[in-house]
Amino acid sequence: MKLDVFIIDAFSDRPLAGNPAGVCPLPEWLPDASMQAIASELNQTETVFFAPEDDDYRIRWFTPTREVDHIGHATLAAGHLVLSKLDPARSEVRFRTGDDYMLVRRDGDGVALDMAALPPRPARVTDEVVAALGARPVEALAAKHHLFVFETWQEVAGLRPDMAAVARLELPAVIVTAPCGVDGDGNPVDFVSRFFAPANGVPEDPVSGVSHCCLTPYWAWRLGKAHLVGQQLSARGGTIRCEDRGERVVLGGRAAISLQGVLSLPA
């Protein structure tokens, strides 16, 4: 069996930047073990699989070691593939997941991802968190992931977490964030962030969509505005246009196909 596979860089206007995702469009679902083996072979932070369901698609995501849920950058990459190559006559594509959905639509010269918001609630800063991050945040919040707020972007950029200790926190993932003003090129940026998920096999995610489902409602509330620009301070880096719509958020960016190939599967 032959399977078309892609590596698509999300939240980037050029290949080899932003957050790479393995993308595997399927005519019908493969066994779970086969999808996990493909994700391990591609060895990206996440690999997304999607198959037709009525006029939409059903979608699933795998890291190299396990299945995960609600991955933003890989969904944006899958939407980019549908709208640019698989069905370019469409203006938007809906991906079903459980009883929810994620929508990717054309947005100027890029695409925009519409997904459920994850507004965080207050939480505690523990000694274990301080030891794992190597610094003390000024605020802690929790939603799907834990969010730790620092005073300056320089503190976030300078963090050197103990990844083994972060994994032992028994949190699905850790987001660190701080306010900002402009980036190094003088472009306006409202906040910066980094995203650590070593327990899921992803020590640091280059550009996380799902983390911005937490970050967008928090910073919209704190800064008093619905439209924001976030910048993720990973080695590859990326910029996300964020819109707070109450129960949902819209994350805008570009994507670029960096690799296209054919994978041979055993009979």
Cα 53 to Cα 56: distance, rounded to the nearest angstrom: 5
Q: Which helix (H) or strand (E) holds 48?
A: strand 47-53
- Residue by residue, what is the 3-state secondary structure of 197-240? EHHHCECCCCCCCCHHHHHHHHHHHHHCCCEEEEEECCCCCEEE
Q: Is 40 helix (H, G, I), strand (E, B) or coil?
A: helix
The per-residue b/e assignment along 43-55, b for 16 or more CB within 10 angstroms, e otherwise, is: ebbbbbbbeeeee
- Is 139 catalytic? The answer is no
The stretches of the chain forming alpha helices (DSSP H) are 32-42, 72-81, 127-133, 153-158, 163-168, 211-223
- Which value, in Å, is the radius of gyration of the alpha carbons in the chain? 18
Selecting among 28, 41, 46, 247, the annotated active-site residue is 46
Residue type, 33: A
End-to-end CA distance of the chain: 6
Counting DSSP H helices and E strands in the chain, the numbers are: 6, 17
Question: Which residues are part of the catalytic machinery?
Answer: 46
